Amino acid sequence: MATAMAETQKGLIDVRDMGVTFGANDNKIIAVDNVSLNVQPGEFVSLIGPSGCGKSTLLSIVAGFVKPTSGDAKLDGNAITKPGSDRGVVFQQYSLFPWLSVRKNVEFGLKMAGLEQSKRNTTARALLDLAELLSFENHYPDQLSGGMKQRIGIVRALATSPQVLLMDEPFGALDTQTRVVMQEILTNIWQQFKISVLFITHDIEESIFLSDRIYVMTARPGRIKAEIKVPLPRPRRAEMTDTPEFMNLVQELKGLIREESLAAMAPEIKDRGLSGFGMKVGPKGVGDIF
Ligand SMILES: Nc1ncnc2c1ncn2[C@@H]1O[C@H](COP(=O)(O)OP(=O)(O)OP(=O)(O)O)[C@@H](O)[C@H]1O
């Protein structure tokens, strides 16, 4: 853990001219087209865009799970070709081992890395303390709430001192209140570790609250539509969401994303015989479905 806190200069993610195509011939899908993005060491960057625009695909490439069709992804100048302990990954699904206690779950990666029991124990307990879960160290995952499970997922991903944390809609399954608390806990943890984070979300407020920068993607094939800096001071506090600065950013992002959500939904809207992009299809209008 101390190592991760000290290594503020590592964790540069550099994605260049990335293209990803799935399938072939009639089944060919261009998921991502000519995407370049970066995450500077210690920076918190979000990717936001309509469903199916390639966010998870991009994150999977940086994680080393998927190979791009063109372009490349580098971490600290080294080409990413496979998963590695330098990247911690947190998904929406909790993916904890149900047969292991909370502490053993956090210790798992350390055990794989060959760390001796006493050091594993000390590190896991320090991390659980940080996530305010030390008193649950001997519980099992099915005894915990969704928010608690996801906090364990986060500290487990941090246990092996990765240079970057890759998060794919980690709070997507949580209720609104839990989600807001989780966002504050995550910013607190991130401030302490200061590692690079690439974060995927559908939630505009969440992306602003957490991020230093936000990349907005187009509808598929996913390209970068805009790069938005978030000049809000740190540490972020829940009250900031009521400030004009925050609300202006929400409006800006909503405008950008509405266009892309409509583009993504256009065939669906036409199939239903609904024409006109201003048409309301729900209580808040089609753009707000995003
Ligand atoms: N392994 C795969 N094989 C074929 N097509 C795939 C595969 N993975 C993703 N796709 C397709 O690539 C496109 C991008 O998918 P991806 O999951 O990256 O989008 P996303 O932006 O993360 O979507 P969502 O926000 O709904 O999670 C989609 O059309 C998806 O169906």
Domains of the chain: 2-86+163-244 (3.40.50.300), 99-161 (no CATH)
Please give the pLDDT value at position 270: 57
Please give the pLDDT value at position 7: 45
Please give the pLDDT value at position 273: 52
Please give the pLDDT value at position 278: 44
Instruction: Quote the CA–CA distance of 46 and 199 in Å, as a whole number.
Output: 5
* For range 136-141, the mean pLDDT: 96
Lining residues, ligand 1, CB within 6 Å: 22-23, 29, 31, 49, 51-57, 220
CA 223 / ligand 1 centre spacing (Å): 14
CA 54 / ligand 1 centre spacing (Å): 5
Please give the pLDDT value at position 63: 96
User: CA dist 53 to 174, 226, 264, Å?
Assistant: 23, 14, 8
Q: Who contacts 92 (Cβ-Cβ below 8 Å, separation ≥6)?
A: 168, 169, 170, 171, 172, 173
* For range 132-145, the mean pLDDT: 94
> 77 in the Ramachandran plot: left (φ > 0), alpha (ψ -120 to 50) or beta?
left
Residue 285 β-bridge partners: none
Instruction: Quote the CA–CA distance of 33 and 26 in Å, as a whole number.
Output: 18
Instruction: Quote the CA–CA distance of 212 and 235 in Å, as a whole number.
Output: 11
* For range 221-242, the mean pLDDT: 94
For residue 29, give the amino acid letter. I
Q: Who contacts 20 (Cβ-Cβ below 8 Å, separation ≥6)?
A: 30, 31, 32, 54, 57, 58, 61, 66, 68, 69
Between 26 and 166, residue with greater pLDDT:
166
Q: Is 55 helix (H, G, I), strand (E, B) or coil?
A: helix
Share the mean pLDDT of the chain.
88
Between 2 and 96, residue with greater pLDDT:
96
ipTM for the complex shown: 0.96
Q: Give the percent of the chain with pLDDT over 70.
A: 89
156-208 pLDDT per residue, tens: 999 989 999 999 999 988 898 899 989 998 998 898 888 999 999 999 999 99
Please give the pLDDT value at position 284: 38
57-92 pLDDT per residue, tens: 999 999 999 999 999 999 999 999 999 989 999 988
CA 176 / ligand 1 centre spacing (Å): 25
Confidence of residue 116 (pLDDT cuts 50, 70, 90): very high
Please give the pLDDT value at position 267: 65
- Residue 217 CA: which ligand 1 atom is closest? 21
CA 167 / ligand 1 centre spacing (Å): 16
Could you tell me which of 226, 132, 229 has the C-alpha nearest to residue 186? Answer: 132
258-290 pLDDT per residue, tens: 888 887 777 666 555 544 444 443 333 333 333
Confidence of residue 21 (pLDDT cuts 50, 70, 90): very high
* Residue 208 and residue 200 in contact, taking contact as beta carbons nearer than 8 Å: no
Out of 29, 67, 207, 265, give the residue to mutate to test ligand 1, the one with the largest number of ligand atoms within 8 Å of its CB.
Answer: 29
pLDDT at residue 4 greater than cutoff 60: no
